[in-house]
Amino acid sequence: MPIPRILLSIVCAAALLLLPVVWTQWLETRGVMESPPPAASRDASPTLRVAVMVHPTVYYEDPNGGTAGLEYDLISAFAQTRRMSLAVKPFASIVAARQALAAGDVDVVAMGVTADAVGPGEIATRARYHESGWVLLNSPQKFTPRSLAEIKPKEVTVSARLFAHPKFTELRRRNPGIAFIEDARNDDESLITAVGDDEVQYALLEDDTFEASRHFHYDAQRAFVVQPPSPRVWLFASQAHALRDEANAFLTRITRDGQITRVLDRYFGFPMKVKGGDIEVFTERVNTVLPRYRNLFQQAQENYGIEWRLLAAVAYQESHWQVDATSETGVRGIMQITEDTAKRYSVDRLDPRSSILGGARYLAELKRDGLAARIQEPDKTWLALAAYNIGLGHVENARILTQRAKKNPDAWPDVRRHLPLLIKPEVAAQFKQGPCRCGMPVEYVESVRAYYDVLLRLEAPYQPRLRAR
């Protein structure tokens, strides 16, 4: 029986989550930690009071009980660099948060406000760390308009985050024949679901919100861009120039040195390589097929330290959880293991337990022994997945190309752009492995990430019981 869509809507109230524990470690070790500035330049308070809202791109509780969100990750890293504690204050709306800022109840509003919406009595960061436009969504089963003039009926439900935006006031003035209705749910995830369920014909919301949620809303699609992208900013009270300037310096620095790319990759980095129909089939098989193998994936996690839901995502991408799957290249089993790898690990490829344990062991060894120890998570996992698919040699060649291009060979977002170059004979001739269809591992990794993201919300983490001595 397929998982009910309403359940998907509930469990998908959070936005994308990728390796939360590892991500926290990365923020601590790579989060541009530096010596604190002189006391004279710091805010007198050791606590940074931040206004946020529960939203896929701002702040939410992830499925493992941690805290995530693009704005939350960035403001947390900023507070760490200033050696300040963080006091997060959730608000129901941006309007309420701005009132709290004006009253002095918070120091900064980190809600993804855009630069074209800074109001009187406020100052904002100038660094272009992220930007987003507005899009119109509709159901792919219905007529897809290419402009507001083509929509029928003339009614659009508007995200509550946009309804008070100055640009929306202008948009409504230019389109007097359209009834724009504020979303009473005040929940963009539910609004996207309502489009897919045909409860709402058209919805207007921010593009990055849809990007962060689209794995779960396969019945809604982007019809066209209504408003071009505008930079996101943090808001400060007009007198807080010192704190604003420190925040701007922080955002500018992580943007220039490329670390912002890794932050954005967590939420928006993997393109939609999985079609809506595929996600629908996947969620149905999570309910009907995965229970047969859940214990085996969890045993593999216990033995080799690879998170069980990631292993399940890999197995689904490899074989759709079919134990007798055989590819045209001769790889077999639920984990699609090659004959050489099967011999090396004494794997019976058609036995699901043997295949899952063997695949987990191979992936664990790729991470531990195949890739440089200095590579941080989650990049190491994504690079190991690419190596699982195409071979470690080709991944190492792509890392060399990345380094030659003066990009970071330890960062998946950079290596991902150079892997496809290995299909060119003149490029592959530089390496003994020869050419490869290395666009495939890029799609492979991103598809695994999509399935993993869904599993993070549908399946609980595995916590092994303590064993008796």
CA distance 251 to 248: 5
Please list, in sequence order, all residues whose beta carbon lies within 8 angstroms of the beta carbon of residue 337, skipping any fewer than 6 positions away: 331, 347, 349, 355, 358, 359, 362
Q: Which two tokens stand for residue 272?
A: 């939609």
Phi, psi torsion values for 86, nearest 5 degrees: -115, 125
Closest CA to 192 of 151, 168, 157: 157
318 among known catalytic residues: yes
The neighbour count for residue 92, using CB atoms within 10 Å, is: 11
Q: Which two tokens stand for residue 327?
A: 């590819």
Q: Which is catalytic among the residues 206, 211, 318, 446?
A: 318
Closest CA to 138 of 122, 150, 120: 150
Closest CA to 363 of 304, 407, 447: 304
Q: What SS3 string covers 230-295?
A: EEEEEEEECCCHHHHHHHHHHHHHHHHCCHHHHHHHHHHCCCCCCCHHHHHHHHHHHHHCHHHCHH
Cβ 393 vs Cβ 371: under 8 Å? no
Query: What is the helix (H) or strand (E) element at residue 112, kind and residue range?
Result: strand 108-114
Cβ 36 vs Cβ 82: under 8 Å? yes
One-letter amino acid of 57 = T
Closest CA to 266 of 180, 381, 173, 155: 381
Pseudo-torsion of CA 214, 75, 246, 37, nearest 10°?
-140
| Region of 85 on the Ramachandran plot (φ > 0 left; ψ -120 to 50 alpha; else beta) | beta
| Region of 443 on the Ramachandran plot (φ > 0 left; ψ -120 to 50 alpha; else beta) | alpha
CA distance 30 to 154: 49
DSSP per residue, 397-462: HHHHHHHHTTS-TT-HHHHHHHGGGGGSHHHHTTSTT----TTHHHHHHHHHHHHHHHHHHHSPPP
The neighbour count for residue 41, using CB atoms within 10 Å, is: 12
Residue 384 buriedness (CB in 10 A; 0-12 / 13-18 / 19+): buried
DSSP state of 396: H
List the catalytic residues.
Answer: 318
